Amino acid sequence: MSPKPKGNQKKLINSTEGIYLVDAGAGTGKTFTVSRRYAKLLKKETEPEDILLATFTENAAENMREEIINYCNCDLSKLREAPISTFHGFCQQLLMKKGFKAPAGLGLEEAITANTRTISNRVQENREFANFYDSFQENYPEYGQFYRIVYENTNLLQLIKSLAVKGIFPKQSGWYRGGDKLLSGNYHEYLEKLERVNAPVPGKRGKKQSKLLNRLTGMKNRTFDSEEIKRRQDIRDGKQVDPGVMKEAFNQDRSELIAFIHDLYLEYLNYALGRNYLNFSFQLMFAYVLLMEDDRLRESIQFDYVMVDEFQDTNEIQFKLSLLLSSTGNILAVGDWKQSIFGFQYASVENITEFEDRLDEFYHQLNKDRQRTPYTPGEVNRISLRRNYRSSQEILNFSERALEVRGKKEEEVSLNREVVSLEAAKSKVDTDISAFVSESEVEGVLSRLVRVVEGDEAKLNGNPIEYKDVAIFSRNRSFARELDKKARELGVSVAYEGGAEIFKSDPGVILLAWLRVMERRNSKRGWSVILDEAGYNIAEVKSIIDEEDFPPDTLRFRDQLKEAYDIGAVTRKIFIRYGFDNTFTDAIIEVLQNTFDSSYMNLASVVQFIEENIRQGETYDIDSQKEEATTVQTIHSAKGLEYPVVFLANMNQHTFPSTNSDGKRIFYNDSLGLRARKSYSDSDGFLYDDLETYLTSRVSGVDYSEERRLLYVAMTRAENYLFLSAEKGKEGRFFKELDLDPVDLEPSIDEIKSRRAARPRKTLRVGRPGSKRPKKKSVHSVIDITFENHSGGRGKEFGTMIHAFAEKIASGKEVTVSQEERGKEDKVNVKNFIQSLSGKLLPEQEVLIPKYENETKHVYHGSIDLLHVSDDRVRVIDFKTDEDRTNESQYKRQISLYAEGVSAEYPDREITGHIYYTKLNKLVTTFKI
């Protein structure tokens, strides 16, 4: 059953000593190979705790862990604890265990505490930052000129975070370990680019002027300070820009700007620590400082083996952490530069493309004043995985063209790095690449989709294509949402996946209305939504609000809401009233509960939070449950996935490639350092364009390489069929440059409707697995109970509430049960029961249980309500809100599975399984080992 490693996969598994950079292209079995290499190390007597395996997402880490557990027959509890995680997760743990004093490494007085949380919500941090920025402006009036430049203060926050991941940190005085050198930029790099772009281009009739001079058109539309422009009256030097002017521009004095950013950065760190939070960038920063400064700690932590997956998504500080965390120099970096698409999120492709240079540079930085890494890196060994187990050779060949396609007409693409061509492991007959354009693209794509599924033109190994075999990608979310909406209207089986603006949805709007009404009895904005929803017409709504003569049932409901003990409960009550129950409501409840996690509920701040989410267009992930439908998603969210049929839609002008212009007034990049785009003139009070910044930033043109990689990622998701689509007459550069010879498609709505109605399908398939997306198997999949009888008719929401209540008590929080509260009886029972237990209480314990079924190994996931650990015995307790014991036999299977998972952890103790019926106040023993 389990596949055997082949070729270079084998080589990678067996090469464990030294530094390895592995080029693992799309679909080459990376997870598989890395997990086998891990297993190999275990066989060589290495303990899991001596191997650090870092991945990009939590999900990837869990998949890797599962893969390893599946394959290895070794101590499960050790593997569960093993450091297989994201860099962030690792740093968080490190800081919590040993890092309270880390900020002292920067000379900060504030410390990290046990209460320091990680802020993950952008809206939340922006709000904190805005609050901080107000007081900063008061305390530092001397930076007035910069406050006038900045129009969006969250840009400053982004800037600070991007400096942090590059290893540029402020100290109480000055900058940490010479980080400020980077702030002045890299003159060599600048000069190199300048010379290339400033040389006159030879044309047919002599020398044309330089590209730089061309790029400077538009200069006359800007307003430069007259003094400034006078000093550089003539920037021309024949057919090029005067190199002296360009040099002077680079060397512009920016000491005040740097001082401003220093103080802002430093004070923000103090603020965040004082308010007990860190963001993801600061987490990495403090972990790094800690490891740099505390030699004994570093030595005690360093690993025998460090393996980093998805290396193309790492940033500078993560590269340095990898070196710093190794005790031996046995380091593995696996990735594919062609799939690096998160640059805007601080990932740095150069970590791979300039691996050797960076290794050398970073190694010397780390060991500058004393030896911190007890090894010298030897030669870098390179291994390439080129066998692709996903796509047809046709698609693989075609997708390579994506890497060389021009982003604009004049661009010259130079691929100055090696592309490891992929070879299809299996030849496929059912494969094709085609393109089409249509006047209304949404309809065009849908009609093409319907034809592919309902028609007979394409097959997969002789089987018809199903909706779920197909994915539709777009560069931006808005097209994907639009398509999803249209598909719903026409009844085409399509489901959107990815981020959505949940607070703009119907449930979100109603929720906000009720919260407003709770906050202020006569909130106009609140009532108008509620009354409108209740069916009153505009005139009626107006008079009700004017007279404050609100319908009694709504007032009663409002009072009920006020009694709920936290925001989650309020939200649930509202959604139940309206019968809302979908992916949006789930997401809203989750977000609110995570954000307002205390039982103390401040309505005003919840309202503000939601308003801010709406204003900023913040999105949250929703998963659609429609397993049989075609997925619509952005290319970014499709990374790592694969589908037999892929539509790459919306390849239109201004969209794909998208023009990447960050209009930030103060920005940083590697070659220019820190610069301000505008300058404020004290003499006349005007804001001018900054000439120096304008000139220098013209040197590097727009870079389309990440857009090309995005195109490459999209194409390499396809196994058999690839369709490319654009709006007729609006075809974008990529679509044009690919030379596709598109078919002109004239969609008709009637055709879509009739085709999808024509043939009710029966799914019958042979020899082909279904969705390949990673699916966790829940313990609940072994029991077969619907929610109606699950909680004895009291509903899913009731069960969740009681479980949340139990978790609070078990984790030692103060709780009170009021007289008229819902579920009072159950709660009192639970409270008394839990308080009667002596010993250690571990609520909500995650378990992983490997299990053989039909000779295949599965890993089940589950969450144990309560683990009661005493010296000789461990009780696995599951709370049930059922009013009778009819489901008990089903529950027994569930609990025995839990107990199996637990027994691996506590091999020397007796394990017993129990059900506690909260209504019946009865503890039933179901299991004994």
Partner DNA sequence: AGCGCACCTGTTTTT
Partner DNA sequence: CAGGTGCGCT
**Nearest approach, Cβ of residue 85 and DNA (Å):** 8
How far is the C-alpha of 883 from the C-alpha of 886, rounded, in Å? 9
Single out the segment in contact with DNA by CB under 7 A; choices: 201-209, 319-327, 365-373, 599-607: 201-209
Binding residue for DNA, selected from 113, 214, 522, 608, defined by CB under 7 A: 214
Nearest to 54 by CA among 252, 239, 281, 318: 318
How far is the C-alpha of 502 from the C-alpha of 566, rounded, in Å? 20
**What residues numbered 73-92 form the site for DNA, per CB under 7 A?**
86, 88-89
Residue 209 near DNA by CB under 7 A: yes
Site string for DNA, 136-165 (x = CB under 7 A): ------------------------------
Which of residues 168 and 867 has its CB atom nearest to DNA in the complex? 168
Binding residue for DNA, selected from 654, 759, 773, 928, defined by CB under 7 A: 654
Binding residue for DNA, selected from 636, 717, 822, 914, defined by CB under 7 A: 636
The distance from CA 643 to its chain's CA centroid, rounded to whole angstroms, is 21
Residue 729 near DNA by CB under 7 A: no
Phi and psi torsions of 875, nearest 5°? -105, 130
Which of residues 345 and 856 has its CB atom nearest to DNA in the complex? 345
Nearest to 443 by CA among 481, 406, 388, 486: 486
Residue 906's identity, in one-letter code, is Y
Residue 410 near DNA by CB under 7 A: yes
Q: Where are the beta strands (DSSP E) in 545-629?
A: 620-622
Residue 658 near DNA by CB under 7 A: yes
**Nearest approach, Cβ of residue 473 and DNA (Å):** 10
Which of residues 347 and 530 has its CB atom nearest to DNA in the complex? 347
Which of residues 62 and 469 has its CB atom nearest to DNA in the complex? 62
How far is the C-alpha of 789 from the C-alpha of 91, rounded, in Å? 44
Residue 440 near DNA by CB under 7 A: no
Residue 605 near DNA by CB under 7 A: no
**What residues numbered 455-494 form the site for DNA, per CB under 7 A?**
475-478
Residue 594 near DNA by CB under 7 A: no
**Nearest approach, Cβ of residue 543 and DNA (Å):** 41
Site string for DNA, 805-844 (x = CB under 7 A): ----------------------------------------
CA dihedral of residues 660, 661, 667, 672 (deg, nearest 10)? 70
DSSP state of 101: T
How far is the C-alpha of 376 from the C-alpha of 323, rounded, in Å? 10
Residue 298 near DNA by CB under 7 A: no
Site string for DNA, 222-241 (x = CB under 7 A): x-------------------
The distance from CA 412 to its chain's CA centroid, rounded to whole angstroms, is 32
- Could you tell me if 505 and 575 are in contact, meaning their C-beta atoms sit under 8 angstroms apart? no
**What residues numbered 688-727 form the site for DNA, per CB under 7 A?**
689, 701-702
Tell me the site size for DNA, rule CB under 7 A: 52
Site string for DNA, 330-369 (x = CB under 7 A): ------------x-xx------------------------
Mutual angle of helices 506-519 and 524-533, in 10-degree steps? 130
Residue 195's identity, in one-letter code, is E
**Nearest approach, Cβ of residue 122 and DNA (Å):** 7
Nearest to 690 by CA among 213, 183, 222: 222
**CB crowding 37-75: b at 16 or more within 10 Å, else e:** bbbbbbeeebebebbbbbbbeeebbbbbbbbbbebbeee
Residue 362's identity, in one-letter code, is F
How far is the C-alpha of 207 from the C-alpha of 230, rounded, in Å? 28
Binding residue for DNA, selected from 217, 255, 416, 816, defined by CB under 7 A: 217
Which of residues 616 and 889 has its CB atom nearest to DNA in the complex? 616
Nearest to 512 by CA among 438, 603, 411: 603
Nearest to 228 by CA among 215, 245, 211, 213: 245
Residues that bind DNA (CB under 7 A): 56-59, 86, 88-89, 120, 122, 203-206, 208-209, 214, 217-218, 220, 222, 280, 342, 344-345, 408-410, 475-478, 498-499, 619, 621, 634, 636-637, 653-655, 658-663, 677, 689, 701-702, 733
